[in-house]
A = this chain, B = another copy of it.
Amino acid sequence: MAGLRESEALEKARRARAAAARLGLLTRTEKDHLLEVMAEALEANAGAILEANAQDVRAVKERGGTSAPIDRLLLDEKRVHAMAQGLREIAALPDPIGEVIEGRRLPNGLEITRVRVPLGVVGIIYESRPNVTADAAGLCLKSGNAVVLRGGSDALHSNLAIVGVLTEAAGPEGLPEGAIEIIETTDREVAAELMRADEYLDVLIPRGGGDLIRRVKRESTVPVIETGEGNCHIYVDASAPLDQAEEIVVNAKCQRPGVCNAAETLLVHREAASEFLPRLGARLSEIGVELRACEESRKLLPDARKACEADWETEFLDLILAIRVVNDVGEAIAHINRYGTKHSEAIITRDLENAQRFVREVDAAAVYVNASTRFTDGGQFGLGAEMGISTQKLHARGPMGLREMTSSKWVIMGQGQVRA
């Protein structure tokens, strides 16, 4: 059995590697046509996809799953339609492949250009949302990459149904065999094999919680792009316009608390705290946000729970907000650089010097002045659909669009030049 399982991850990675060479040569017209056909097929086969999804949902309910994971897992006609629309939006984006990024003629007459090429084979290990399956397949196809998907066991039937519909619709003449592979075995060992398949994979992208990301970083010999862990902060400076600050904190915390660009900790300048915290506290209590506050801020928020060290470190992904009073912008920056996950950080201020200092010194993918952290998103930034939000510094930082799914190649045209 172990032998069989080993062959699944490696065999599929090998098939994807073989497909990658052909995928990189597809023209935009060919790729967009495939995406269109795949989108139509998702809608035409919504019934079969929903049936497979119902099977997954039933199994989770039988195991006593709670409503939040079931909601993430659940598909309906509208969500299937949204997946199809996602593929059409990817088709509408420009083709990143073949773009000439830079070029020049060298003194010896060599003409060199740097051209955008696919990464090759992308591995994606993700948790329960089945829409990631279609998004990832579409983004990889458009960027000329083969993909090996490894979704969560909860969504297995849904994911298999989606990939089945996509590959069947595209057909082996249009889509090279192996272009979209999905791993069916659900145990941990098969994921571990994928992490060690550096012979076939060019990059591995974990999409999920901190535990998954840390495991992949530890075990993978394939280069990894960390995505999506967001312990994001809002710092309300002494000079902050408090109405604006209130709207931004409420938006960043409450508009969609379960996503990575939601705020988790509020830092407030000592001078703003006495006016700001009581009014904000009242507003958040109404919405049902649990507050976990430092000693100092609890004096102004008597109903708040006492924050402990772990609260500064936690991505709650829920209606919980940690609150701390700080003495100045420097202390806010130090707190963020210590506890943050380098995702999205915001300052609310009227002070130019503090804004500039915050922007320069905070180490994060996205740094905001007077706006909600919720904007960190490929669509919002005008980059189109995204593969996730990179929180590492290598290769991609922030929303990963099609461009971040590419590499480059130097092409050098000569007339017999040799090096002296």
Q: Which residues of A contact B (CB under 8 A)?
A: 21, 24-25, 104, 106, 110, 112, 114, 119-120, 198, 202-203, 217-218, 221, 223-225, 241, 244, 247-248, 250-252, 255, 337, 359-361, 363-372, 374-376, 380-382, 392-395, 397-398, 407-419
Residue pair A393, B363 in contact (C-beta under 8 Å)? no
Given contact pairs A104-B382, A198-B217, A375-B417, a sample of 16 additional A-B residue pairs in the complex whose CB atoms are under 8 Å apart:
A120-B363, A223-B223, A248-B416, A250-B418, A252-B418, A369-B412, A369-B414, A370-B414, A371-B416, A371-B417, A371-B418, A372-B418, A375-B412, A394-B395, A398-B408, A398-B409
> What residue in chain B is nearest A337 (Cβ atoms)?
B21
Chain B residues within 8 Å of A418, by CB: 247-248, 250-252, 255, 371-372, 374
Q: Known contacts A217-B221, A360-B25, A419-B372: does B412 contact A120 (CB below 8 Å)?
A: no
CA distance A370 to B120 in the complex (A): 26
A409–B106 CA distance with the chains assembled, in angstroms: 31
**23 A–B contact pairs at CB < 8 A?**
A25-B360, A104-B382, A110-B371, A203-B393, A203-B394, A248-B418, A250-B418, A251-B419, A252-B418, A359-B411, A365-B409, A367-B412, A368-B414, A369-B411, A369-B413, A370-B415, A371-B415, A372-B417, A374-B418, A376-B410, A380-B419, A397-B407, A397-B410
CA distance A247 to B408 in the complex (A): 29
When distances are taken between beta carbons in the complex, the residues of chain B under 8 Å from A414 are 368-372
Please, which residues of chain B bring their CB within 8 A of the CB of A104?
382
The answer to whether A394 touches B359, judged by C-beta atoms less than 8 angstroms apart, is: no
* Across-interface contacts of A360 in B (CB, < 8 A): 24-25
- Cα-based distance from A355 to B412 in the complex (angstroms): 11
Asked whether, in the complex, the Cβ of B119 is within 8 Å of the Cβ of A412, the reply is: no
A364: B residues at CB distance < 8 A:
409
Q: Give the complex CA separation of A247 and B413 in angstroms.
A: 16
Contact of A381 with B112 in the complex, beta carbons under 8 Å: yes
Q: Return the chain B residue nearest A25 by Cβ.
A: B360
Interface of A is mostly: mixed
Are B393 and A410 closer than 8 Å at their CB atoms?
no
In the complex, what residues of B have CB within 8 A of residue A419's CB? 251, 255, 372, 374-375, 380
Contact of A409 among B252, B366, B394, B412 (CB under 8 A): B366
CB atoms of B361 and A393 under 8 A apart: no
Minimal Cβ-Cβ distance residue in B for A247: B418
Inter-chain contacts of A398 with B (CB < 8 A)? 114, 408-410
User: Does the CB pair A409–B367 fall under 8 Å?
Assistant: yes
Bound Cα distance from A371 to B119, whole angstroms? 26
Smallest distance from the beta carbon of A11 to chain B beta carbons, Å? 18
State whether A397 and B408 are in contact (beta carbons under 8 Å apart), knowing that A375-B417, A382-B106, A419-B255 are contacts in the complex. Answer: yes
User: How far is the CB of A372 from the nearest CB of chain B, in Å?
Assistant: 5
Q: Please tell me if the beta carbons of A110 and B375 are within 8 angstroms of each other in the complex.
A: yes
Nearest CB of B to A367, in Å: 6
**Given that A367-B411, A380-B106 are contacting pairs, would A392 and B255 also be in contact in the complex, using a CB cutoff of 8 Å?**
no
A394: chain B residues at CB < 8 Å are 119, 202-203, 223, 225, 394-395, 407
Cα(A419)–Cα(B133), bound, Å: 26
Counting from the closest, the 5 A-B pairs by CB-CB distance are: A371-B414, A251-B418, A393-B407, A374-B419, A395-B395
Nearest chain B CB to A337's CB is how many angstroms away?
Answer: 7
Is there an interface contact between A416 and B370, defined as CB atoms closer than 8 Å?
yes
Contact assessment for A223 and B221 in the assembled complex, using a CB-CB cutoff below 8 Å: no
The distance from the CB of A205 to the nearest CB of chain B, in whole angstroms, is 11
